[in-house]
Structure 1
């Protein structure tokens, strides 16, 4: 791949419809000209921030900042006053207007790959959001790895409607096409109707998106013309995986990553796809699972703490270094790695590894078992304090026509008895964030 981070923008051959958003098209050269205008305006600044609306303007500003070598901080457009003030105050970034600006033919030389490119703020589930500093080299390494495992080429058209302030929507969904050279159609919102109306070869979505696509069979069948449906940002429930396969004729590709590591594990475009599993490490990335004492767990053994190292890792938290040991970054997730190298993500160590009566139980396994019940539409499992067991398995379930006792017995029949929920709460819905992840702290 090219040494330029946004290599496709510099190609001499223009692409008339390189990027489309809100029904407006920009050619490759038009996008480069507008981005170069932004680069000239902000040159020399320490860091800039942009309100990351799902628009062409946001894409232009981010591209312009990357051309100028100025780190850019995307701010969620729905951020509350306190969150916005924290991000701007913590980063010291200057908020710039994302409206139409001047066009320039003067394209600056790109800086060294070690230079910071993005500062993405975490969701703040364990305190105030932290700024994750990601280098240009890490972005390039990850996008090139994904181009290989997904067979992503300039001939592709990527369609998605994801937010532009996360790795999924911004790094993969915008910078990917601008590096690889594929076309991009951003649908504004990731609705089944919008996806079906936008012909493409690749579609990106989070589990909530794919669940809604499956609930709209006629729209789902339109996606059968694509070659790749990619799911990420949260575990894809097995029933949704199977519904997608039935409706589109292909199983989705699942992948795993986080803000601090980018995308590190994925199923392959030309390989097997397994429900509940996220595949193998991408090129340039190593993974391992360790026990509570930090000792490596052999492949095929029990669940443990997932660690990652490689070229895609972040530089550190803004104002701090990168916590690691011998180059290994502790993801905070628990996982299993099979004897064949396939990864299954159990969940967050803080919420999804339940220690009950001397057993270690992954919440995700119990959730998958609950979702196999025909009445269950959503399920979230957590550990709650118990005077005898230490923690008890507690489930929050959206279901119609099922009782608590019926669901407990259903899990006990499919899994080991000690993995059954002791308590099942029947609820109307589960709290989720913008990327579709269940907010388990709110359940507690």
Structure 2
């Protein structure tokens, strides 16, 4: 059920919000599980956080930014709350970002300690990352920490499970709740500091926007280094009474559908790409128990909507919209009001401002302000650069309906000037998606001495031809300027660990190919 949103309710620390959820939904309610199938209750989660956190506190300082390089798992969630129990700031490291970005993230945040696990490093074959991190940080393996948990730690945890407020470190809602790094889909990742109140507020905003049932199970295969996976897949279910089921990788296409069925999942968090893959791989009935799917990070294609409906029945795919800087959800569709082609209704408590963009009519550059908007970006000197007057520039061009429903026209960076006209690269991609819906496509712009810029389509469809794109554009009345006149067929379209299209890599691929044929 939904509750009225009051921003004053978010003035609470994350650990105190966990304590409040236990009081509301019951200490013995199973609230966290992963593929090991050993569920933790609220009290079990709190006790595990105290036991682990007490050991971590022995080699870190209060207020320290502690790196966390773990997959979506019960262990990853316990570690997050363990750091909060003792006043440390979880700094979530993107292990898919590459060595250079990973080292830069640690240096920017001043990370001296990185928590990870032997099992994760072995299974992910991430030894090169460890080799790169060891010269700049103390890499600590949680298996070794847990082996040192003794009787005193267990007694402390048991007592903390009863007298929780007396045992947890005191912290303010304005204190850092997490440090995350932007996806880097259009450039170098930035360090984002979200306060504890930012995270709690976004959970409450979502719960006030979409009716949620504490008896439901949230299935989260998305990484917890990404805000969608952390807020949507961990904090939202745990703080609203739903069991959070964690799975370590969204890439396991064949393993995930049967586990969705076996875990009795009600909600799935994913991206369009992953949902499409799961729907193709799943056996009849494996996804049919879902109430709805929440999709972010990329546009949901009509082909994916139709595929799920044809194979598994009327399961709404709710496209949403957000940014790391907004903790992250700004808007999302509703199960009973799901408007395809939009990213949903604005969450309560968020103000918007549209600024005109030259050459782009019918919308504007979106600025947002509200209780979920970040404390600020990490600066090179370790300070935090707060948003001016609380406003965050999303960099997106959108249209907003009278009832606050949002339609994305594209990123400001995703427009090109072709022959003096502003052309949306997103609209150009949409044409390719409509013609070849089963394939992946990306459109980028490169300089052109005659037209200013020209569009190039990269696609994994080997037989793609410009004539098919032109014919579709003509059929729907789209300007011919939106049709890329050069197509590069590639084995696959690069994506980031979050599922977003990696436009930085795509730009490099296109420029390299153009240099080769020049």
TM-score, normalization by structure 2: 0.77
Which 4+ runs in 1 deviate beyond 6 A? none
Q: What secondary structure is seen at the aligned counterpart in 1 of 2:429?
A: helix
1:259 aligns with 2:259: no
Corresponding residue pairs, total: 436
- 1:311 and 1:56, CA in 2 relative to 1: closer, same or farther beyond 3 A? same
1:365 aligns with 2:431: no
Matches within 5 A, 1:9-408: 9=22, 13-15=26-28, 17-23=30-36, 24-41=38-55, 42=57, 44-78=62-96, 80-93=98-111, 94-96=113-115, 97=140, 98-99=142-143, 100=146, 101=149, 102-103=153-154, 104=157, 105-106=159-160, 107=164, 108=168, 110-125=170-185, 128-190=188-250, 191=253, 192-216=257-281, 218=283, 221-247=285-311, 248-261=313-326, 262-271=328-337, 273-292=338-357, 302-318=362-378, 319-322=382-385, 324-350=387-413, 352-374=414-436, 377-399=439-461, 401-408=463-470
In the alignment, the residues of structure 2 paired with residue 276 and residue 380 of structure 1 have an alpha-carbon distance, to the nearest angstrom, of 18
Gaps (5+ residues) in structure 1? none
Shift of 1:209: 1.1
Q: Quick check: 2:185–2:503 contact (8 Å CA) kept in 1? A: no
Gaps (5+ residues) in structure 2? 1-8, 116-139, 508-518
**Deviation readout 1:278-299 (Å, 9 max, x if unpaired):** 0121011122321237xxx9xx
- 1:397 and 1:200, CA in 2 relative to 1: closer, same or farther beyond 3 A? same
In the alignment, the residues of structure 1 paired with residue 393 and residue 305 of structure 2 have an alpha-carbon distance, to the nearest angstrom, of 28
Of 15, 21, 39, the residue aligned with 1:8 is 21
Q: Quick check: 1:113–1:135 contact (8 Å CA) kept in 2? A: yes
In the alignment, the residues of structure 2 paired with residue 275 and residue 112 of structure 1 have an alpha-carbon distance, to the nearest angstrom, of 40
In the alignment, the residues of structure 2 paired with residue 144 and residue 201 of structure 1 have an alpha-carbon distance, to the nearest angstrom, of 19
Of 483, 492, 512, the residue aligned with 1:420 is 483
In the alignment, the residues of structure 2 paired with residue 79 and residue 208 of structure 1 have an alpha-carbon distance, to the nearest angstrom, of 19
- 1:92 and 1:441, CA in 2 relative to 1: closer, same or farther beyond 3 A? closer
Shift of 1:323: 5.8
Shift of 1:128: 4.4
Q: What secondary structure is seen at the aligned counterpart in 2 of 1:5?
A: helix
Q: Which structure has the bigger radius of gyration?
A: 2
Q: Quick check: 1:334–1:353 contact (8 Å CA) kept in 2? A: no
In the alignment, the residues of structure 2 paired with residue 12 and residue 256 of structure 1 have an alpha-carbon distance, to the nearest angstrom, of 29
**Deviation readout 1:353-386 (Å, 9 max, x if unpaired):** 1222232222222222221225651121122222
- 1:274 and 1:368, CA in 2 relative to 1: closer, same or farther beyond 3 A? farther
Identify which of structures 1 and 2 has the higher relative contact order when contacts are C-alpha pairs closer than 8 Å and 6+ apart: 2
In the alignment, the residues of structure 1 paired with residue 106 and residue 282 of structure 2 have an alpha-carbon distance, to the nearest angstrom, of 43
Structure in which a larger fraction of residues adopt helix: 2
- 1:376 and 1:341, CA in 2 relative to 1: closer, same or farther beyond 3 A? same
In the alignment, the residues of structure 1 paired with residue 384 and residue 94 of structure 2 have an alpha-carbon distance, to the nearest angstrom, of 25
**Deviation readout 1:152-179 (Å, 9 max, x if unpaired):** 2322211121111111111211122221
In the alignment, the residues of structure 1 paired with residue 234 and residue 243 of structure 2 have an alpha-carbon distance, to the nearest angstrom, of 10
**Deviation readout 1:99-144 (Å, 9 max, x if unpaired):** 4354413231542211111001223456543221000111111000
Shift of 1:438: 1.2
